[in-house]
Chain A
Amino acid sequence: MLSMKTYLILILTASLTILNAVKAQEITGLDGFSLFLDPGHSQTENEGLYNYSEAEKVLRVGLELRRLLLTYTDIDTVYISRTNDLQQVSLSQRTDLANFLAPDFFHSIHSNAGSASTNNTLFLHGGWRKDGQTVEKNPAGGKDMGDIMEIVHTAAMRIPTIGNYADRTFYQGFPTSHTNQWPYLHVNRETNMASVLSESGFHTNPTQQQKNLNTEWKHMEAMSFFWVMLEYLDVERPTVGIGAGLITDADNDLPINGATISIGDSTYTTDTDESLFDQYSALPNALRNGFYYITGLQPGQAELIATADGFYSDTVEINIDSTDFTFTDVALISSVPPFILSNSVGNDSLINPGEDLVLQFSRSMNTQSVDEALSFFPEVEYSSSWNSNGTELSINTTSLEFISNYTLTIDSTASDNSIYEHSLDGNGNGESNGDFVLDFETGQEDINAPVITSIYPDGVRPDGLWPIASISFDEHLDTTKIDNSTVQIRIGTYSVPGVVKYYTVDEKSVLNFFPSERLEPNKFYKLQFDGSISDTAGNSLGKNVLRTFQTPNFEYVNATEVDDFEGGINSWWQPSQSGSTTGYLAEETIISVTDKTLNLLTESSQAMQLNYGWDTTSAENLIREYRSVGLPRFGNQRFVQSYIFGDGSENLFRFMIRDGSNQLEGSSWQTIDWIGWKLVTWDLAQDSVIAWVNGNGSINGNSYVDSYQLTYKKGGAVTGTLIFDDFRVVDKGLPTSTEEIDSNLPVRVELSQNYPNPFNPTTSINFGLPENGDVSLKIYDMLGREVAVLFDGVKKQGYHSITFDASALASGVYIYRLNTNTGAITKKMTLLK
Chain B
Amino acid sequence: MNSKIFTSSTLLLLSVLTPFLVQGQPRVVGEPEVLISSDETIFMKPLWSPDGSSLAFTSTRHQGIWVAEASGDNMQQITDKNAGYGFSWSADGKSLLTRVSEYENRRQKHAISIFSIENKAQQLLTEFRNDMPATPQWADFDRQVVLITDESVEAFDTGKEIGTREKMTTNKLFYVLKSNKLAAGMIPTNSTEDISPFDDAQYLNLEVSPDGQKLSFEIYGGNLFVMNIDGTGLVDLGKANRAKWSPDSRYVIAMVADDDGHEYTKSDLVVFSIDGTQKINMTQSSDIVAINPSWSPTGNRIAFDNPRDGNIYVLSIEY
Contacts and interface: CB of A to CB of B under 8 A. Distances in A.
On whether the two chains bind one another, the answer is yes
A89 B220 contact: yes
23 contacts: A2-B154, A4-B130, A6-B133, A8-B150, A10-B220, A11-B202, A12-B200, A12-B201, A13-B222, A91-B259, A91-B262, A96-B241, A100-B86, A102-B110, A102-B133, A104-B103, A180-B310, A182-B59, A182-B60, A182-B61, A187-B262, A188-B61, A194-B106
Contact of B131 (A77, A82, A97, A189): A77
A41 B258 CA distance: 12
Interface in B116-153: 129-135, 149-152
Nearest to B202: A12
Contacts of B179: 8-10
A90 B240 CA distance: 10
A90 B256 CA distance: 10
A192 B84 contact: yes
B97 interface: no
B241 A141 contact: no
B45 to A, nearest CB: 9
A42 B239 CA distance: 15
Contact of A110 (B152, B261, B310): B261
Contacts of A137: 60-61
A181 interface: yes
Interface centre among B62, B154, B262 (most CB of A within 10 A): B262
Given A12-B219, A137-B61, 17 more contacts: A2-B151, A10-B202, A11-B200, A12-B200, A13-B201, A13-B221, A40-B262, A91-B261, A91-B262, A92-B291, A93-B221, A96-B242, A102-B101, A102-B132, A181-B40, A188-B61, A193-B101
A335 interface: no
A419 interface: no
B62 A99 contact: yes
B218 interface: yes
Interface centre among B42, B63, B133, B242 (most CB of A within 10 A): B133
B171 interface: no
A142 B167 CA distance: 49
A137 B59 CA distance: 12
B289 to A, nearest CB: 10
Interface in B19-66: 40-42, 44, 59-63
B306 to A, nearest CB: 12
Nearest to B242: A92
Secondary structure type dominating chain A contacts:
loop
B216 to A, nearest CB: 14
A14 interface: yes
Contacts of A233: 106
Contacts of A188: 61
A139 B108 contact: yes
Contact of A93 (B180, B241, B262): B241
B205 A96 contact: yes
Contacts of A185: 262-263
A9 B61 contact: no
Contacts of A140: 103
Nearest to B241: A92
Contact of B103 (A45, A100, A139): A139
B204 A93 contact: yes
A190 B61 contact: yes
Contacts of A103: 108
A2 B152 contact: yes
Contacts of A10: 179-180, 202, 220
A551 interface: no
Contacts of B4: none
Interface centre among B84, B86, B179, B242 (most CB of A within 10 A): B179
A88 interface: yes
Interface of A: 1-6, 8-15, 17, 32-34, 40-42, 45-46, 76-77, 82, 87-93, 96-97, 99-105, 110, 126, 137-141, 180-183, 185-194, 197, 232-233
B307 interface: yes
A743 B205 CA distance: 69
Which of under 10, 10 to 19, 20 to 34, or 35 or more describes the interface residues of B? 35 or more
Interface of B: 40-42, 44, 59-63, 82, 84-86, 99, 101, 103, 106-108, 110, 129-135, 149-152, 154, 177, 179-180, 198, 200-202, 204-205, 218-222, 241-242, 255, 257, 259, 261-264, 291, 307, 309-310
Contact of B177 (A45, A91, A100): A100
Given A90-B257, A192-B84, A17 B62 contact: no
A100 B261 contact: no
A796 B204 CA distance: 66
Given A33-B107, A97-B204, A92 B257 contact: yes
B133 A180 contact: no
B221 A99 contact: no
B255 A92 contact: yes
A100 B204 contact: yes
A89 B261 CA distance: 9
A34 B131 contact: yes
A90 B220 CA distance: 9
Contact of B149 (A6, A40, A76, A138): A6
A141 B106 contact: yes
A11 B82 CA distance: 28
Contact of B218 (A46, A93, A193): A93
A33 to B, nearest CB: 6
Contact of A41 (B84, B152, B202, B261): B261
A187 B61 CA distance: 9
A192 B200 CA distance: 27
B129 A2 contact: yes
A42 B133 CA distance: 24
A40 to B, nearest CB: 5
A13 B129 contact: no
Contacts of A182: 41-42, 59-61, 310
B85 A100 contact: yes
B298 to A, nearest CB: 27
A183 B309 CA distance: 12
B241 A90 contact: yes
A188 B62 CA distance: 11
Given A2-B151, A32-B130, A92-B242, A138 B61 contact: yes
Contacts of A187: 262
Nearest to B259: A91
B27 to A, nearest CB: 26
Interface centre among A8, A102, A186 (most CB of B within 10 A): A102
Contact of B200 (A14, A41, A99, A141): A14
Contacts of A4: 130-131
Contacts of B218: 93
B223 to A, nearest CB: 10
A187 B310 CA distance: 16
A73 to B, nearest CB: 14
Given A91-B259, A192-B63, A141 B221 contact: no
Contacts of B222: 12-13
A621 to B, nearest CB: 39
A186 B200 contact: no
Nearest to A46: B261
Nearest to A191: B61
A97 B44 CA distance: 17
A11 B201 contact: yes
Contact of A2 (B63, B131, B257): B131
A9 B181 CA distance: 11
A85 B150 CA distance: 27
Contacts of A181: 40-42
Contacts of A13: 198, 200-201, 221-222
A9 B132 CA distance: 15
A294 to B, nearest CB: 33
Nearest to B239: A90
A662 to B, nearest CB: 16
A79 to B, nearest CB: 9
B10 to A, nearest CB: 44
The 3 A-B pairs with the shortest beta carbon distances in the complex, nearest first, are A192-B62, A87-B221, A182-B60
A138 B204 contact: no
B133 A32 contact: no
